Structure 1
């Protein structure tokens, strides 16, 4: 299997882990169980750092796509992917900001959560559109 597909497939469980732990972190926050909240926070950070690393590899492997954005009108066909890039950059920034503030029940934490929900929806659309190509890559094992 080509390295690009290994990267693409590895993004799926990391995305699921990051999304699930992020939502769980938010839900647990409402119960005020600090130890459980802290454990979800650790799990979320681990999955999210893995996701960030693989996303950087994914972006590097698709540098031709990013260069094609410079062509006139290329951005019109790729709105979901462009929005996903913007959302992930914002998620990274708000996630880093949470390291320096009291994250639970903060405005930044709420923004991070809402952006995370939007990222989940956009990521699912991104994956669904490309699932046929990903499945084909399994035939080359």
Structure 2
């Protein structure tokens, strides 16, 4: 089950990368470039937390340490909380004026990313509880 958790974590991260690509053209100086209401800090830290968690999980797979699954779960919960903030800011609704980068994100992709994250959290919790 630990390997399945890693697989889900990677698939979720790939989905997040797809969503992140919609924000990469924000704040470019070209005329007509989309703007964003998303915090650059959150846009940096949310994926960073995910990558640190994936690295911890790989270490767990190699070392089979009992503490690492709990640290991985904590990492996922922090990442999910940051993701919820990003989701709330994304779904605030389009404002009048220029189109925001997050307005172009496909809503089904956002939903799928969240569902995959929830499944990843569940799998990591089960591994941490010893249901492997």
TM-score scaled by length of structure 1: 0.48
What is the RMSD computed on CA atoms of the aligned residues? 3.2
In 1, distance between residues paired with 2:62 and 2:103? 41
SS where residue 91 of structure 1 aligns?
A: helix
CA apart distance, 1:47 = 2.5
CA apart distance, 1:81 = 2.4
CA apart distance, 1:83 = 2.1
Deviations 1:67-103 (A, max 9, x none): 79xxxxxxxx432222213212211211222221215
Task: Please state if 1:44 is matched with 2:5.
Answer: yes
Deviations 1:43-73 (A, max 9, x none): 53343232122223333443334979xxxxx
Match for residue 124 of structure 1?
A: 84
TM-score scaled by length of structure 2: 0.51
Structure 1 spans left out of the alignment, 5+ residues: 1-37, 69-76
Taking a change above 3 Å as real, the CA distance of residues 94 and 55 of structure 1, as seen in their structure-2 partners, is same
In 2, distance between residues paired with 1:79 and 1:91? 18
Task: Please state if 1:94 is matched with 2:56.
Answer: yes
Match for residue 80 of structure 1?
A: 42
Which of residues 107, 112, 127 in structure 1 aligns to 2:72? 112
Aligned residue pairs total 89
Deviations 1:27-54 (A, max 9, x none): xxxxxxxxxxx3xx45533432321222
Taking a change above 3 Å as real, the CA distance of residues 119 and 98 of structure 1, as seen in their structure-2 partners, is same
Taking a change above 3 Å as real, the CA distance of residues 83 and 91 of structure 1, as seen in their structure-2 partners, is same
Structure 2 spans left out of the alignment, 5+ residues: 30-38, 95-101, 108-132
Going by fraction, where is helix more abundant, 1 or 2?
Answer: 1
